[in-house]
Amino acid sequence: MPKVKFIPQNREVEVEAGTTLLNAADAAGLYIEGDCAGKGTCGKCRVKMIKGGDAEPTAAEKKHLSKKELLGGWVLACQRKIEKDSIVEVPIQKDAHSRKITLAGGIEKLEAEPVIKKTHVKLDRPSVKDQTADLERLLGALGKEDLTVKPRELNALPKMLREHKFSVTATISGNRIISFEPDDTSDQMYGVAFDIGTTTIVGSLLDLKTASVIAVSATTNPQNIYGADVISRITHANQGKEQLQQLQNKVIEAANDIIKDLLKKTKIARDRIYEIVAVGNTTMSHLFMGIDPTYLAPAPFVPVYSRALDVEAAEIGLKINPAGRVTFLPNIAGYVGSDTLGVILATKMDQRSDNCAAIDIGTNGELVLKTRDTLMACSTAAGPAFEGAQIRQGMRAAAGAIEAVAYKDNDIKVTTIDNVPACGICGSGLIDAAAALLQAGLIEPSGRFFNFEENPEKVSDHFKNRLRRGKTGIEFVLVPAAESDIGEDIVLTQNDVRELQLAKGAIYAGLMILIKEAGIQEKDLDQILLAGAFGNYVSRESALTIGLLPQLPIDKIKAVGNAAGDGARVALASKSERDRAVKLPHQVKHMELSTRLDFQEFFIEAISFPKI
């Protein structure tokens, strides 16, 4: 079997001849960026063959790679099959998670009301006169005779008592003792809150005694290899038990990596983590629990379950205290998951008496509207454009991503994350770029680029060399090759603008349906909350300029950070909040947009940009 060595990560793996480089990298535990599940359509899984890459380029490689790149050994990892020993250079992935980590713990103060209880007791030693059994002796001291315990945990008790002078701490979850620890460990009680995103997984370690977030870690959701969107993953799961297991393994491994990182950062012992509370969209929730989400894909989009699911950590392979509990918060509907519930929980929207909308833009776009009379939610098929997918040089918000574009002094200026040379464009940059080009008159309200070929005299000198005809139509050069990090121009294409229009049109139309259904008007909105990393970094002015949001005064639009993840933290920290989370789905009216004829009307209206 041929061997493949990946550098500079220095990982080596042996694979069957004919295995793609993408799958070989996966087998070596390496993640290679790509959005199309290996179909060869996104062109993002570029790697460089140092040895063993002398096969003819495939049609997809010829389409996505320039002649210079092909000659330089660049290939698409999903297209290139390994036939002999190879050495492959994988570009170092830029850290795309720092913003999500920064936003974690955005809630000012969490109330500590842990579900888990730890009690330390010092027992009387048994004697011939007092032959009470160990467990009954302990329960008597705890004053809780009705607690249960499994043989696995009970087995550890007798020796522990005798080796530690009958000083023991019992950890109690509900009516069950889940662990015995020698001596007094009652001040060591931790839990992890997970936000399981389609693209990114974020874990926060909480000290349950104080409800404080003590460390945060994030990673790419490695299910990405099966596609950037939930439908691709459902399709993969639908192929059989093995494929479903692959998807569950990927997400559980990623969660375990995050736990490992959190423990390394804090030097806390693994078995002192007793609880995990997770949120995610409904598909993520199913895959995390290993439940087949097949019937979520076709209408009527029915999930297997919507209630909170509670399992033992060891049951699904999560490496915390083996008897620790894992709770995935309830989903609202097939495409409105516990992440949206988390937004409601963290922002306390349900308790507001004014008119407030929340928009959480990630790989999908979820919307919530609270008015005096109703609380409603829906999901729009906005697509992952705001995460950089389906955008020619789209990328996630990592160093080098164009994050801001401004039209100033008759020129278009770009700013990148960390002010390093540009290597692509992220969601906030995409919206800014469209807004700036609209202001400059280079994009028309219809979304078409200004036809500079018919009216060359109307293009200012500044833009003469930047507006040009590319392979797929007119495009605008945001950063020339000489200044970019990737040795090629970074452009905004006509297709990128179209993708943006579809995404923003879907979100706006979804919001309009909720507003109509609630019997209010746009102007009646008292506040719009923008949730998620995207919501935090997007320019509110640009979002208004392109018509992503209703035309409200800017001070009515507020970023609330990673509210979905905050929801998981709130529910982990507080029993009352967890109880509230369990009941919340019953208060939320779900609006299914696919059956609404007026959605199409709003959508078509919203696709155009507002006139400047």
The residue ranges that bind ligand FES (CB under 6 A) are 34-36, 38, 40-45, 76, 78
Q: Output the smallest distance, CB 401 to ligand FES, in A.
A: 19
Residues near 32 by beta carbon (within 8 Å), at least 6 away in sequence: 21, 22, 25, 26, 45, 47, 77, 90
What residue spans of 173-321 are helical by DSSP H? 230-237, 241-266, 282-289
Give whichever of 82 and 309 is closer to ligand FES, judged by the CB atom. Answer: 82
Give least dist CB 388 to ligand FES, A: 13
Closest CA to 142 of 113, 180, 115, 187: 180
For ligand FES, give the closer residue by CB, 98 or 235.
235
The Cα 244–Cα 71 span in angstroms is: 39
- The residue among 38 and 290 lying less far from ligand FES, judged by its C-beta, is 38
- Nearest residue relative to ligand FES (C-beta): 34
Question: Which residue number, 41 or 210, has a Cβ lying nearer to ligand FES?
Answer: 41
**Lookup: tokens for 549:** 């949001």
How far apart, in Å, are the Cα atoms of 158 and each of 139, 287, 537? 14, 39, 56
Token code pair at residue 550: 């209703």
Kindly tell me the burial class for residue 14, based on how many C-beta atoms sit within 10 Å of its own C-beta (0-12, 13-18, 19 or more): middle
CB 382, min distance to ligand FES, A: 20
Task: Give which of 385, 384, 405, 388 is closest to 397, Cα–Cα.
Answer: 388
Decide: 511 and 367 in contact? Cβ < 8 Å.
yes
The Cα–Cα gap between 505 and 434 comes to 14
Please identify, using beta-carbon distances, which residue of 45 and 398 lies nearer to ligand FES: 45
Strand partners, 343: none
Q: Which is nearer to ligand FES, 42 or 367 (CB)?
A: 42
| Nearest CB to ligand FES, comparing residues 42 and 443 | 42
Which burial class, exposed, middle or buried, applies to 214 when counting CB atoms under 10 A from its CB (0-12, 13-18, 19+)? middle
Minimum Å gap between C-beta 384 and ligand FES is 13
Residue 42: CB minimum distance to ligand FES, A: 4
CB of 533 to ligand FES, least distance (A): 23
CA separation (Å) from 495 to 102, 353, 391, 478?
Answer: 32, 42, 8, 15
The minimum distance between CB 88 and ligand FES, in angstroms, equals 14
- Between 236 and 325, CB nearer to ligand FES: 236
Between CA 327 and CA 211 the distance in angstroms is: 17
CB 490 within 8 A of CB 470: no
CA–CA dist 469, 487 (Å, integer): 19
Give the number of other Cβ atoms within 10 Å of residue 597's Cβ.
6
Nearer to ligand FES, 42 or 103 (CB): 42
Residue among 227 and 293 whose Cβ is closer to ligand FES: 227
Cα R_g (the chain), whole angstroms: 27
Shortest spacing between CB 61 and ligand FES, in angstroms: 9
- Provide the minimum distance between the beta carbon of 476 and ligand FES in the complex, in angstroms, as a whole number: 24
Q: Which two tokens stand for residue 90?
A: 């994988």
| Shortest Cβ 78–ligand FES spacing (Å) | 3
Residue 513 Cβ vs ligand FES, minimum distance, rounded to whole Å: 33
Q: Which amino acid type is present at position 163?
A: E
- The Cα 372–Cα 356 span in angstroms is 9
In whole angstroms, give the CA distance from residue 504 to residue 485.
Answer: 29
Distances (CA, A) of 565 to 139, 351, 357, 572: 37, 19, 18, 11
Tokens encoding 393: 């040089």
Compare residues 65 and 332 and give the one whose CB is closer to ligand FES.
65
Smallest gap from residue 23 Cβ to ligand FES (A):
11
338-347 and 282-289 helices cross at what angle (nearest 10)? 120
Nearer to ligand FES, 46 or 94 (CB): 46
Token pair 């507001």 in the structure block, residue: 352
| Minimum distance from residue 431 beta carbon to ligand FES (Å) | 24
What's the min distance (Å) between Cβ of 75 and ligand FES?
A: 10
CA distance 197 to 309: 18
Q: Which is nearer to ligand FES, 389 or 514 (CB)?
A: 389
Asked if residues 327 and 309 have their Cβ atoms less than 8 Å apart, the reply is yes
**Pick 35 or 339: Cβ nearer ligand FES:** 35
